């Protein structure tokens, strides 16, 4: 006969009921029971608890028959346990940030086999809260969302590590000169992840100050960020380590942060009421405006900027040293501008608004190059170009991404429906037919764009 083991944790109860019409009731743990697992052969089950103990029971009678040894045991709450396929070992993980392998002896006692070294920084996020023994794979999961995969046959081998964001992803940035192509993603909680084309997870960048990130830009060996404190940070990058950041107060909360790719020491920052020029971490000029700025972009050489406003207008500025001069005003949008991007060949720029419309402009003539891009059903959050300037993509609150081809009618678009639950917030092309998207669901997805 087999039994169902049910865990009750109402109030401060630490009871385990071995159910066969509730004939048995154990109070062997002194704190919450966090996990119960039957062995694959059904002969035993084990319980682990916040009292740092693991207790072993007979799978048929429910009688306690053994316990994990206290020698070398966990020093924090044990949150999860998993059996080996042959029912002779168990894997446990704990708040003490360790994973342990135990041999289950013939007398049902548990003897420590080894402690697995899980990489981490030693913070709260490294607490281990889940585990699984699947064939030759030993999987642990940390509170911060990091997965470590060990080999059961060679547990001393360095684990394979991967992780992801836990909060909404706000931006994607491609390192244009990296090989293989590398993407950085940022989320609302200030986490920065690295992703490598063809590989996937490439590690988390470790910052000394994990403040929230609102705007983000990057070039090789340097990150530029801003949050909600009116400051812009320049952060040197060495591998996966961020150095000491230099910061400057720009006098308002940035709504866009733009680096001149050909001259990355130069940055253009916009706030609601002004255009700020930076050279490294020094403000070289601030231009106040009489309209509300919502977005901006700067040309790769830093000589021109397009500034979008709450009134739906685009204003073109020339930049000469520390002087910003308005050259033209473009009117087409019927809502506040949300995103602006120059094409890689700098012959065009694309703009998008809250009224779900995108427009591609010819930079030289300032005429509309591609119009009727009105296929989203909600505000457009982001715009991106393919490296050959042939494709332009838009991502929207409506959960979709749409890809248009320059020179073809907007109606010949490619629509990626339901790309991200809650909306698309980040877009970038890694090559001419590969689009990467990110969004509200904290996921990153890669799409192959196939033209009709």
Domains and CATH numbers, the chain: 4-162 (2.130.10.10), 169-448 (2.130.10.10)
pLDDT score, position 452: 62
Q: How confident is the model at residue 9 (pLDDT cuts 50, 70, 90)?
A: very low
Residues 358, 361, 364, CA angle at the centre, nearest 5°?
170
CA dihedral 182, 186, 190, 196 (to 10 degrees): -30
pLDDT score for 23: 62
Task: Provide the pLDDT for residue 16.
Answer: 56
- pLDDT-based confidence at residue 121 (cuts at 50, 70, 90): confident
pLDDT at 2 over 50: no
Alpha carbon distance 192, 422 (integer Å): 21
Output 27 or 92, whichever has higher pLDDT. Answer: 92
Q: What is the mean pLDDT of residues 400-411?
A: 95
pLDDT of residue 63: 92
**Residue labelled with tokens 């470790």:** 206
For residue 375, give the 3-state DSSP assignment. Answer: coil
Among residues of the chain, what percentage have pLDDT more than 70? 94
Whether residue 48 is predicted with pLDDT greater than 50 in this model: the reply is yes
Check residue 205 and give its pLDDT: 87
Residue 149's pLDDT is what? 96
User: Among 118-122, 227-231, 257-261, where is mean pLDDT lowest?
Assistant: 118-122
In the structure, what pLDDT confidence band is assigned to residue 382 with cuts at 50, 70 and 90?
Answer: very high
Positive or negative torsion for Cα 98, 99, 101, 107: positive
> What's residue 125's pLDDT?
87
pLDDT value of position 180: 83
Q: Please, are residues 100 and 111 in contact by the beta-carbon 8 Å criterion?
A: no
Please give the pLDDT value at position 204: 87
Q: How confident is the model at residue 227 (pLDDT cuts 50, 70, 90)?
A: confident
pLDDT band for position 10 (50/70/90)?
A: very low
Cα 149 → chain centroid: 20
Q: What is the chain's mean pLDDT, rounded?
A: 91
Say if CB 415 and CB 375 are below 8 A apart: yes
179 exposure class (CB count in 10 Å sphere: 0-12, 13-18, 19+): exposed
Per-residue model confidence (pLDDT) at position 12: 45
Band (27; pLDDT cuts 50, 70, 90): confident
The whole-number average pLDDT for the span 188-201 is 89
Lowest mean pLDDT among 203-212, 222-231, 289-298, 412-421: 203-212
Two tokens, residue 50: 């916040």
Q: How confident is the model at residue 17 (pLDDT cuts 50, 70, 90)?
A: low
Residue 212 pLDDT: 85
Residue located via tokens 């685009």: 314
- What is the per-residue pLDDT for 8? 42
pLDDT confidence of residue 15: 56
Q: Is pLDDT of 385 > 70?
A: yes
Cβ-based burial of 107 (10 A; exposed 0-12, middle 13-18, buried ≥19)? exposed
Average pLDDT estimate for 160-173? 90
Nearest to 276 by CA among 264, 292, 289, 263: 289
């Amino acid at each position: 006969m087999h039994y169902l083991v049910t865990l009750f944790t109402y109030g401060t109860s630490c009871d385990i009921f071995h159910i066969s019409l509730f004939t048995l009731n154990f109070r062997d743990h002194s704190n919450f029971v966090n996990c119960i697992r039957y062995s694959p052969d059904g002969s035993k089950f084990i319980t682990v608890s916040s009292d740092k103990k693991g207790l072993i029971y007979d799978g048929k009678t429910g009688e306690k028959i053994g316990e994990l040894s206290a020698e070398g045991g966990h020093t924090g709450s044990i949150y999860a346990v998993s059996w080996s396929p042959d029912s002779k070992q168990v894997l446990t993980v704990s708040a003490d940030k360790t994973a342990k392998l135990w041999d289950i002896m013939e007398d049902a006692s548990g003897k420590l086999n080894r402690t697995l070294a899980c990489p981490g920084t030693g913070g709260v996020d490294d607490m281990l809260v889940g585990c699984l023994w699947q064939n030759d794979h030993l999987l642990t999961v940390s509170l911060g969302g990091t997965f470590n995969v060990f080999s059961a046959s060679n547990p001393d081998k360095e684990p394979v590590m991967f992780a992801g964001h836990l909060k909404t992803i706000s931006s994607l940035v491609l390192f244009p000169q990296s090989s293989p192509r590398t993407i950085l993603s940022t989320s609302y909680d200030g986490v920065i992840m690295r992703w490598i084309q063809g590989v996937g997870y490439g590690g988390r960048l470790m910052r000394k100050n994990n403040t929230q990130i609102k705007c983000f830009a990057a070039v090789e060996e340097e990150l530029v960020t801003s949050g909600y404190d009116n400051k812009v940070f320049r952060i040197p990058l060495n591998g996966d380590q961020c150095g000491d950041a230099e910061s400057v107060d720009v006098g308002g909360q940035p709504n866009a942060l733009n680096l001149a790719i050909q001259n990355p020491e130069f940055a253009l920052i916009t706030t609601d009421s002004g255009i700020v020029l930076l050279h490294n971490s020094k403000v070289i000029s601030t231009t106040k405006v009489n309209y509300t700025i919502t977005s901006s972009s700067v040309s790769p050489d830093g000589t021109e900027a397009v500034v979008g406003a709450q009134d739906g207008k685009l204003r073109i500025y020339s930049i000469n040293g520390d002087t910003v001069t308005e050259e033209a005003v473009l009117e087409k949008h019927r809502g506040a501008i949300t995103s602006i991007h120059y094409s890689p060949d700098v012959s065009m720029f694309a703009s998008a608004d809250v009224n779900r419309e995108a427009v591609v402009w010819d930079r030289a003539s300032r005429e509309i190059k591609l119009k009727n891009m009105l296929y989203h059903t909600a505000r457009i959050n982001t715009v991106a170009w393919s490296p050959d300037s042939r494709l332009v993509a838009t991502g929207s609150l409506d959960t979709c991404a749409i890809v248009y081809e320059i020179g073809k009618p907007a109606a010949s678009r490619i629509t990626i429906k339901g790309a991200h639950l809650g909306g698309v917030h980040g877009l970038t092309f890694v090559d001419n037919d590969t689009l990467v998207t990110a969004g509200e669901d904290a996921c990153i997805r890669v799409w192959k764009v196939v033209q009709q």
